[in-house]
Amino acid sequence: MADAQNKKWLPSIQGWSWIITIVWVAIANLWHPFGLYGLVCMFTPIIIALSGRGKMHCARICPRGSFIGLFTRKISIGLKKPAFMKSRAFHWALWGVMMGAFAGLLVWSVPKGVYIVGNTILVFMEAATVLAFLFGILFTPRAWCTVCPMGFTSGNLRGLVERASKEKPQ
């Protein structure tokens, strides 16, 4: 694992990265194999966290975070998030349900070919984005980011990388 000390973060692109979400959804709906690009969105936060840059993806890059932040800003009604949603148990449960569903869908779709796999990833990520959008409307614009399985994964990896980096012999 990478040394987590002194890793530089990229400047933020979240002022415009929401465009990536719209372009991807538009193209992938027209040509389903492009749905596979969704895997890039899923693995980038993991790779970045393993590189020792913690949640740089969430804070500076994530197209979905940028999208929900921008488009729910004016319509968010700002309800208080229920206390149970702040618990680790809820984060793990949501992570398990979403990752389990995603893995199951991949197992089902891969034998059916690239069009079905691409469309499956697209539909899964569209559903997650709708959920994120609902969180944004009900709570605060980026409320989804406090429970998002990919953000949770990269946060956990950040902890692991930092611990490994501290334990490394100097």
The pair of three-digit structure tokens given for residue 146, joined into one six-digit string: 């406090």
- Estimate to the nearest angstrom the gap between the alpha carbon of 36 and the chain centroid: 15
| Lookup: tokens for 93 | 């449960």
CB of 66: closest distance to ligand SF4 in angstroms?
8
Complex with ligand SF4: residue 123 or 131, whichever CB lies closer: 131
Residues at the contact surface with ligand SF4, assessed by CB under 6 A = 45, 58, 62, 64-65, 144-145, 148, 150-151
User: Residue 115 CB, nearest distance to ligand SF4 (Å)?
Assistant: 26
Q: Give the whole-angstrom CA distance, residue 92 versus residue 157.
A: 14
Smallest separation, CB 58 to ligand SF4 (Å)? 3
Of the two residues 42 and 105, which places its CB atom closer to ligand SF4 in the complex?
A: 42
Minimal distance, residue 169 CB to ligand SF4, in Å: 33
Q: Residues near 156 by Cβ (< 8 Å), separated by ≥ 6?
A: none
Nearest residue (CB) to ligand SF4, 32 versus 60: 60
Task: Of 119, 18, 124, 111, give the one whose Cα is nearest residue 65.
Answer: 18
